[in-house]
């Protein structure tokens, strides 16, 4: 269980205990409580649904952009095999790039921190000599496209940086918290005629709390923990370390 999951479970348990005490000890009587519940439920559902959808789309977009980055780095490494000297430099650059991601457990480490990966990669590709260029007919055509890949990587980085900044602002959080508080309190307006009613109140209140917790994790990009997306990172490291090639070679013997 990841730290994010543990914190979420602990928060839910604390809420259930606190809200259960509120439901059992605090009783209010209102004749028109159904109108209040309907109104607060409608507005809370409207706003929480919109914000969750928006932040989920943001999360998916960031994941897609990061995966595209992995594909472009893999492509750069494979194509530079036409010039072994440059491929060795690219291998070191890509390994350094992804080892920082593994160590920090942050897929967007090079977006949120200063990075010289693309600068190093550009210099490595630009070091192609005339002799190396003439050694294989396809090198010249491939090299021109590789610089376009560098451009795509830069554009992708800017897109991810922009997506990271699209978090909910304090005013939006205030709307969610106020509506959630009103809804949780209004549940208790329903007369407690049996223990089943109290249990239903606690379940509805917990559902509201979990919805906010889900939105918070989407907003912070922590919903799926630190392991999400790491399979692609590990795959890139296997490629540059030639582990896949070694396994294939072993199977063909």
In the predicted structure, residue 188 carries a pLDDT above the cut 90: no
- Closest among 166, 160, 129 to 61, alpha carbons compared: 160
Largest separation between any pair of C-alpha atoms in the chain = 89
Q: Which residue has the higher pLDDT, 105 or 244?
A: 105
Q: Report d(CA 31, CA 187) in Å as an integer.
A: 13
Q: Report d(CA 82, CA 146) in Å as an integer.
A: 12
Q: Report d(CA 133, CA 80) in Å as an integer.
A: 12
In the predicted structure, residue 174 carries a pLDDT above the cut 90: yes
Q: Report d(CA 24, CA 17) in Å as an integer.
A: 11
In the predicted structure, residue 28 carries a pLDDT above the cut 70: no
Q: Which residues contact 131 (CB under 8 A, 6 or more apart)?
A: none
The least confident of 86-90, 193-197, 212-216, 228-232 is: 228-232
Tell the residue number behind the tokens 């519940």, with chain if given: 37
Whether 163 and 58 have beta carbons less than 8 Å apart is answered as yes
Whole-structure pTM value: 0.76
Whether 77 and 94 have beta carbons less than 8 Å apart is answered as yes
Whether 124 and 89 have beta carbons less than 8 Å apart is answered as yes
- Residue-wise pLDDT for 229-251, tens only, equals 678 888 888 888 876 555 555 55
pLDDT level of residue 55 (50, 70, 90 thresholds): very high
Q: Report d(CA 184, CA 236) in Å as an integer.
A: 47
The least confident of 40-54, 176-190, 236-250 is: 236-250
- What is the Cα 73 distance to its own chain's centre? 20
User: What single string gives the DSSP state of each residue in 36-57?
Assistant: HHHHHHHHHHHHHHHHHHHHHH
Q: Which residues contact 93 (CB under 8 A, 6 or more apart)?
A: 117, 120, 121, 124
């Amino acid at each position: 269980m990841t730290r994010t999951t543990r914190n979420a479970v602990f928060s839910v348990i604390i809420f259930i205990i606190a809200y259960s005490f509120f439901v059992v000890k605090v009783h209010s009587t209102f004749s028109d409580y159904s109108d209040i519940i309907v109104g607060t439920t409608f507005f809370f559902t409207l706003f929480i649904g919109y914000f969750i959808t928006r932040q989920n789309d943001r999360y998916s977009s960031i994941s897609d952009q990061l995966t595209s980055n992995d594909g472009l780095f893999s492509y750069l490494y494979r194509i530079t095999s036409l010039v072994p000297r440059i491929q060795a430099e690219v291998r070191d650059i890509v390994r350094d790039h992804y080892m920082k991601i593994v160590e920090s457990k942050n897929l967007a480490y090079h977006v949120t921190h200063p990075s010289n990966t693309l600068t190093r990669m550009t210099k490595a590709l630009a070091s192609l000599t005339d002799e190396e260029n003439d050694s294989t007919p396809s090198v010249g055509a491939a090299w021109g496209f590789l610089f376009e890949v560098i451009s795509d990587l830069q554009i992708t980085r800017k897109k991810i940086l922009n997506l990271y900044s699209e978090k909910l602002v304090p005013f939006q959080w205030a709307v969610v918290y106020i509506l959630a508080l009103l809804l949780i309190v209004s549940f208790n307006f329903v007369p407690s005629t049996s223990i089943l009613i109290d249990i239903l109140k606690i379940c509805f209140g917990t559902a509201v709390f979990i919805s906010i917790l889900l939105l918070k994790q989407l907003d912070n990009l922590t919903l799926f923990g630190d392991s999400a997306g790491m399979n692609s990172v590990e795959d890139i490291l296997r490629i540059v370390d030639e582990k896949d090639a070694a396994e294939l070679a072993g199977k063909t013997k």
